[in-house]
Structure 1
Amino acid sequence: MKEEIADAWTNQSFGYSKFVQKGLSKRYEREGWQTIFSEELGTKKLKVLDVGTGPGVVALQLAYLGHDVTGVDNSDGMLKEAIENCKRFKQSIEFQKGDAESLPFPDNSFDAVVSKFALWTIPHPEKALHEWYRVVKPGGKVVYIDGNWYTDLKNSWFRRRWSDLSKLLILITEFRNPYSHGFEDETRLNLWSSHAIRPSADLEMMKEVGFIDITAKEGLKRRVLSGTRLIKHGYWKDYFLVSGVKRKIDSDL
């Protein structure tokens, strides 16, 4: 299943990278994400790992904020786009191929681990969260953003119609076929996130892994999307953010 998911992301890499480039060119969107990450990570320079970096959007946002960023992804196509975007936006970021469930880094390597729109496609999310916990330093923070991508549409007639109209608008204005993207039905149905109640399920997983100070925040979408970007890509119910801190060995026991 991992190969199918990696191939699906590779097939989407060029179009998704274009979406990212447009977002980075929009001040409202760029500064909205930067503010969200600054609220979670603070303003001190950190060594940060971006898991499921895709075309490098989060890595770039964090690099703009002055952090030392490493991006990892299991899709060759996404990594290619991330490297190109790094050159395009003139940022110094290290990218490498890696599995979110088995990261190629030693224990306690990073001050923080971040991820955006990735955990929903990872076959074994608990295993991934254990890995993110492993590579972050004691007292360090894991922050990830995700959404209820398929359940939102399945449960809402209004959002399905909005989705159809937005795809038609993209087809007309951007001259690309948004209907060709996404996962095959069989793959989608086998994703854990297609059947989970989120972020409640995420909070339980974070607790089981051993994180402390676990929080969930919603209401992110309108902080980062506006105008035509909101019309085209805002049909999902909302984005949510989950964060947790790795327990310090002595003081938190």
Structure 2
Amino acid sequence: MKFSSQSLDERIERYWSRRAQGFGAVRRYELSSEKSRLWLCEIEPFLPSGPLQILDAGTGTGFFAILMTELGHAVTGVDLSPAMIDSARETAQKKNMPIDFHVMNAAQLAFPSARFDVVLSRNLTWTLPDVRAAYTEWYRVLRRGGVLINFDADYGNVSFAQQTEKLNQPNAHAAIESALLKECDAIKAQLDISGVPRPEWDMRTLGEIGFTDIRCDTQISDRIYAKVDETFNPVPMFRLTAGKPG
């Protein structure tokens, strides 16, 4: 059975709100570990020079937003889940970081056009009912010469419940109850993005929208997750970078 776009958004929001507490614990561990440095190595080479206005789309509990604020950039973080945003705000307040967090659909942004120098995202596009709409919105809110940096994976080809049951090592899903993982799998089955080849589809779509200098790195998991710990993601990730023509 296919859900309407609105009811699917609601189901997705409920799922991630239920995940917020455990998700936040993993991200806080990442912030205090070598993973912060590893992620920065994957992001910094693609950032334009100077203090930047950065949108962290699908900020979750604020991991990327905090990393970018620590570099001196002005960061806005959005997420569909109020519980995720509450967790992000709490972490940012403890670190005395002035990050502008909003509960907002990343595919329906309430920002003016040409608002940001960078749109940054991690593990979001695979969860969206309309990824093309999100990429179109991100193009709209980028300034000329702005950059999109999107980290994701072809999660639609994976059953989280089955994979986690079989893994005999630490991983980011190990502490998640089976019912939640099955709910995630059920949601993924409803998403169009789960049925297309990635990242090939993404690269083609970004070009159709108007992005240029589109590049993809499919080896980032070898660098980020070389050490297996509680943040380990067994699904190979990719990094997409693209620019808005100046």
TM-score by length of 1: 0.86
Q: Distance in 2 between matches of 1:216 and 1:170?
A: 26
- How many residues align? The count is 237
The answer to whether residue 207 in structure 2 is matched with residue 201 in structure 1 is no
1:9-67 alpha-carbon deviations (Å, 9 max, x no partner): 111011100000111111x2110111111011145321101111000011011111211
Cα distance, 1:126–1:71 mapped onto 2, change above 3 Å: same
CA contact (8 A) 1:46 1:111 kept: yes
Q: Distance in 2 between matches of 1:4 and 1:240?
A: 26
Q: Distance in 2 between matches of 1:33 and 1:135?
A: 24
1:203-237 alpha-carbon deviations (Å, 9 max, x no partner): 0110111101111112112322343427x62321x
Identity, % of aligned positions: 27
Match for residue 5 of structure 2? none
Unaligned runs of 5+ in 2: 1-7
Match for residue 251 of structure 1? none
CA contact (8 A) 2:210 2:244 kept: yes
Match for residue 25 of structure 2? 18
The answer to whether residue 227 in structure 2 is matched with residue 220 in structure 1 is no
Q: Distance in 2 between matches of 1:95 and 1:168?
A: 28
Cα distance, 1:169–1:184 mapped onto 2, change above 3 Å: closer
Per the alignment, in what secondary structure is the counterpart of residue 71 of structure 1? strand
More displaced stretch, 120-129 vs 141-150: 141-150
Match for residue 133 of structure 1? 139
Cα distance, 1:38–1:162 mapped onto 2, change above 3 Å: farther
| Alignment of structure 1 residues 48-59 onto 2, 5 Å | 48-59=54-65
Q: Give the partner amino acid of 2:76.
A: T
The answer to whether residue 167 in structure 2 is matched with residue 160 in structure 1 is no
Match for residue 125 of structure 2? 119
Match for residue 106 of structure 1? 112
Q: Distance in 2 between matches of 1:17 and 1:52?
A: 13
| Alignment of structure 1 residues 1-253 onto 2, 5 Å | 1-26=8-33, 28-152=34-158, 160=163, 163-166=166-169, 176-182=175-181, 183-229=183-229, 233-236=232-235, 238-248=236-246
Cα distance, 1:234–1:96 mapped onto 2, change above 3 Å: closer
Q: Give the partner amino acid of 1:244.
A: A
Q: CA RMSD in A?
A: 2.3
Q: Give the partner amino acid of 1:235.
A: P
1:158-201 alpha-carbon deviations (Å, 9 max, x no partner): x9378532479976xxxx44434333443221112321211101
Per the alignment, in what secondary structure is the counterpart of residue 240 of structure 1? strand
Unaligned runs of 5+ in 1: 249-253
Q: Distance in 1 between matches of 2:43 and 2:157?
A: 26
Q: Give the partner amino acid of 2:132.
A: E
Match for residue 3 of structure 2? none
TM-score by length of 2: 0.88
1:88-120 alpha-carbon deviations (Å, 9 max, x no partner): 333221101111111010000011111110011
